Amino acid sequence: AQSVTQLGSHVSVSEGALVLLRCNYSSSVPPYLFWYVQYPNQGLQLLLKYTSAATLVKGINGFEAEFKKSETSFHLTKPSAHMSDAAEYFCAVSAHAGGTSYGKLTFGQGTILTVHP
């Protein structure tokens, strides 16, 4: 079984400030972890993915996330927020064992990021 908890349904930052979106996961097998972004009236777009290689993962648009097994966390960060980063962000986990993907993503509830000028 697997689950994802995103701490904070809304995060508000000023333009140029650090963005930190929190995600904790639970998985009975080594997980693959994802961050997706959803802009208004659009589908989900993959930001980045952790697949048991490097623990610090760099994604698109200047975002990165660090896998911390001891803390069961996969927090998303960006050093300097831009107005265009305003969107809803979803953390997700999928179960993988023996190199086989089960193809089932479990999503967190989402965090809405607001960026103020």
Selected from 14, 55, 101, 114, the binder of other proteins by CB under 8 A is: 101
DSSP SS3 for 62: helix
- How many residues form the binding site for other proteins (CB under 8 A)? 20
35 makes contact with other proteins (CB under 8 A): no
- Residue 7's nearest CA partner among 74, 60, 64, 81 is 74
90 binds other proteins (CB under 8 A): yes
Which of residues 10 and 68 has its CB atom nearest to other proteins in the complex?
10
Q: From the CB of 74, what's the least distance to other proteins, in Å?
A: 15
Residue among 7, 17, 86, 105 that touches other proteins (CB under 8 A): 105
23 in contact with other proteins (CB under 8 A): no
85 three-class SS: helix
Asked if 109 touches other proteins (CB under 8 A), the answer is: yes
Query: How many Å separate Cα 71 from the centre of its chain?
Result: 15
Q: How far, in Å, CA of 8 to CA of 10, rounded?
A: 5
Residues that bind other proteins (CB under 8 A): 34, 36, 41-46, 49, 51, 90, 100-101, 103-105, 107-110
